[in-house]
Amino acid sequence: MVLLDVVGLTKTFTIHHLDRHIPVFHDLCFRLHEGQFLLVTGQNGAGKSSLLRCLYRTYLPNDGHAYYESRYGRVDLARAADVDIALLRREEIGFVTQFLRPRPRVSALELVAEGLGELGEARARDLLDGFGLKPELYSAYPTTFSGGEQQKVNLAHALARPRRLLLLDEPTASLDAQARRSLCQRLADLKAQGVAMIGVFHTADEIRALVDGEIELRGARLGLPTHDDETTHGGFYVAD
């Protein structure tokens, strides 16, 4: 089943005080089925993170559609009402970044287990253990953690909840080898359960086995492309 159908998605930042438009990507088209993994590549500033953020609606796309087949019905992520996006974020779509936003005086374990009910704590311990966070840090506040430790809490938080679509923005950055292996294994398990993923990875080697298709973003900032430039790549349609 097609889970996500992206048609003509376009993002341009408008910076009012500079009186400037900054195009990021233009007329992007691709499809993603359940259980598929799409790798997004491109140089720094090519718009990889912006694409993920547009799908999560942290950024507002300027044009185009991102039709998502939710449990409640089909919805355009580019245009749905905010309350609907909030609902999907709670229940279906997860976003994993390399940055944790720790909440003051909330422990690592509480943060991961929050809102998961009775089994939450066991699940949180399991995930944190899998990523190799030292048990003595479970009750500590993540504000004081190292970058890698924060990242482990972040990943555990993101993967503790059931998801149908995961947006992964460099989730392996600042992780040690054991945590990277553990994460890849978790992602492989989720993929086997039908979870679709779109990921940006600094080094893609470790994730390569999971990848079903790849899009490369390049050059939207160099000038606006046209439909004639469309190419297909790994079964996904790309305009750059």
Partner 1 sequence: MTAISSPLSYLNRVDEPRLIGAAPLLRVQGLCKRYGRIQAVQDVSLDVYSGEIVGIVGESGSGKSSVLRLLNLEELPDEGRYTLALPTAIGLDGVNLFSLDRFTRREVQTQHIGIVYQNPHLGLRMGHTSSGNVAERLLISGERSFHALRAAAREALAASDFPLDRMDDPPRKLSGGMQQRVQLAKAIALRPRLLLLDEPTTGLDVSVQALVLDTLKRLQRERRLAIIIVSHDLGVIRALADRVLVMRQGRVIEQGLTDQVLDDPQDAYTQQLVHAKL
Cα separation, 20 vs 23, in Å, equals: 10
Q: Please, which residue, 59 or 237, has the CB nearer to partner 1?
A: 59
Instruction: Single out the residue of 43, 45, 103, 189 in contact with partner 1 (rule: CB under 8 A).
Output: 103
CB of 204 to partner 1, least distance (A): 26
Instruction: Single out the residue of 35, 67, 87, 125 in contact with partner 1 (rule: CB under 8 A).
Output: 87
Give CA separation, 229 vs 69, 167, 240, in Å. 28, 26, 7
Instruction: Single out the residue of 2, 43, 45, 63 in contact with partner 1 (rule: CB under 8 A).
Output: 63
| Residue 228 found at the interface with partner 1 (CB under 8 A) | no
| Residue 14 found at the interface with partner 1 (CB under 8 A) | yes
Token code pair at residue 173: 């950055």
| Residue 118 found at the interface with partner 1 (CB under 8 A) | no
Burial 48-77 (b: 16+ CB within 10 A, else e): bbbbbbbbbbebebbebbbbbbbeeeebeb
Site string for partner 1, 137-156 (x = CB under 8 A): --------------------
Number of residues binding to partner 1, judged by CB under 8 A: 37
Q: How many CB atoms lie within 10 A of CB 225?
A: 18
Instruction: Single out the residue of 28, 51, 52, 75 in contact with partner 1 (rule: CB under 8 A).
Output: 75
Token code pair at residue 11: 């993002």
Nearest to 159 by CA among 218, 203, 116, 217: 116
Instruction: Single out the residue of 7, 80, 116, 173 in contact with partner 1 (rule: CB under 8 A).
Output: 80
Q: Let me know the angle formed at the C-alpha of 211 by 52 and 54, rounded to the nearest 5 degrees.
A: 10
Stretch that binds partner 1, among 40-48, 71-79, 152-160, 187-195 (CB under 8 A): 71-79
